[in-house]
Structure 1
């Protein structure tokens, strides 16, 4: 079995299977009450990292988590992301220092925190020097508002540049057993001991014969096999599958107990 925990920076240890809160409904209806129940069930199941973002409902997702879980258990780390602004067309990247500072302050208020333990830049804004974007977050870290800094959807070159500006504790790129576009970024994170939080950790099309065959062998679901493969793939992997369903949540969390044989690992790794 792969390790069950991972370090964020040098001082936070979390379980290696997290929870992505993006799919939780935030409207004040019965669906919101169900979403609160899902978040609470995740913590009850032992999840110790929950991922959200300013973009998710333009702060409503952060407020939902605070309603569901505050005061937070000591072991729970909630990570949020900044760097996208609302526009009439939907949203656009914006890494201007004033925007990043405002969104960090808004996130702290919504989450009812004095410091966010892991703050990630949602995307690199190509119109703003990376040094200004990461440098602003580093300043907020020095001010005590941020514990650790992370990036999302970056290249190896962007990661390397960011690491010359500040210590980077995590990277959140799209990655799963059937989509490995960011393999080089994962390898760079593995070499540096940087936590890698794959978003979309379960590919929407899981009918590949080898995935379904391994699932049948283990009496598990294809989604569980996909998550288990990620946990075996690298010791810095920290999948954050999301759902608005408690049964689906419990299924996802159960993937952490699956042990893949060398043969099963090889068959899954050979998929592209």
Structure 2
């Protein structure tokens, strides 16, 4: 777990009174003068930035994404988070999921927490919003393995954008799936305008998560031996059926244990459990 000094060095804004960077005059003129945005868009954008400033936890942030940001850039599914940038990749440190199948996330996030998709790699290289549509591919081609995986979950499009921190070692990113808007220029404009406030908000939430990591470690130690065994196998990507075979118990029993584990650790999905384990392993290796 990072020390308070490390947290302050990484995110000085998160430790002070002002967590969200205000919109400057140049940005305000850009927003108000853009022909791509309707009057309603501009009002809603301003309201969204103000709402981001008031967010203090993941639950509120999830609600804001599901409502206000969805109105600006309509989408069906979304996953976003904070990632550590190292070894030419993004390693998930904190994840917020809005209806993206856990099984899909388990295929694109490896056991070390690295996001393995060509779209995120392309964003990391260019630092520009990326759009992929299976029937009308824009940009460089993607590998066939990922394309087949994308299609197998009935996903139609992906719009990804993000922002790195000043040190370049951490980033916030958002992946919107099945975007229900054909106006790509407008979506890019909105993503660029929204991202500084989203980035500040997500990093603030991440700092709080790191400050609570010790509590999660204590909670993990309070799991029963059976729960610890199951948590271990879940963290390795095993299904309930596979864990049941390994431990000689029923898949239903495994499912019950997994639900109890998530409740004790205050996590919402198996994917968050896998990422939580990967982050703790990384911290142990770097300690």
Give the structure-2-normalised TM-score: 0.24
Higher relative contact order (CA 8 A, sep 6+): 2
Q: Pick the structure with more helix per residue.
A: 2
